[in-house]
């Protein structure tokens, strides 16, 4: 099982770029990396997923180095509404067991005015 490690918290100011890194040293060959955003009293919401190199969508970018032992979620120009907990998830559900999926402990991002 890939164990994941994230910073507990981060602060940023509006308009800045924020990078949150997740370490997953023993990631398996078939594992994907997925990031979620969670607001208080809501379920986690899918942000972005990748396998290697760089993935970009309308809200974020995901950088994965060649060794895949870490990944970095990049949020461009954050606003107050980006204040939330961000989780990384490593694993591959097609491997046959949800127990192979490993959630990080989450990073509380606080965006300050």
Which one of the spans 17-25, 33-41, 56-64, 75-83 is the region binding other proteins (CB under 8 A)? 33-41
Q: How far is the CB of 112 from other proteins (least distance, A)?
A: 23
Site membership for other proteins, residue 63 (CB under 8 A): no
Q: How far is the CB of 107 from other proteins (least distance, A)?
A: 12
Residue 112 Cα to chain centre, angstroms: 20
Q: What is the dihedral of CA 58, 31, 88, 45, to 10 degrees?
A: 50
**Cβ atoms within 10 Å of 84's Cβ, excluding its own:** 21
Site membership for other proteins, residue 101 (CB under 8 A): yes
HEC sequence for 1-50: CCCCECCCEEEEECCCCEEEEEECCCCCCCCEEEEEEECCCCCCEEEEEE
Site membership for other proteins, residue 28 (CB under 8 A): no
Which one of the spans 11-19, 28-36, 56-64, 72-80 is the region binding other proteins (CB under 8 A)? 28-36
# binding residues, other proteins (CB under 8 A): 28
Report the relative pairing of strands 107-112 and 9-13 from DSSP bridges.
parallel
Could you list the residues that contact other proteins (CB under 8 A)? 30-32, 34, 36, 41-46, 49, 87, 89-94, 96-99, 101, 103-106
């Amino acid at each position: 099982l890939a164990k994941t490690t994230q910073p507990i918290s981060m602060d940023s100011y509006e308009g800045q770029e924020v990078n949150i890194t997740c370490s997953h040293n023993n990631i398996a060959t078939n594992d994907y990396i997925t990031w979620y955003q969670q607001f208080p009293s809501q379920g986690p919401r899918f942000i972005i997923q990748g396998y290697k190199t760089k993935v970009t969508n309308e809200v974020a970018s995901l950088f994965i180095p060649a060794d895949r032992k870490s990944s970095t979620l990049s949020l461009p120009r954050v606003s107050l509404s980006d204040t939330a907990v961000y989780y990384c998830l490593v694993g591959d559900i097609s491997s046959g067991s949800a127990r192979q999926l490993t959630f990080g402990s989450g990073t509380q991002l606080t965006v300050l005015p």
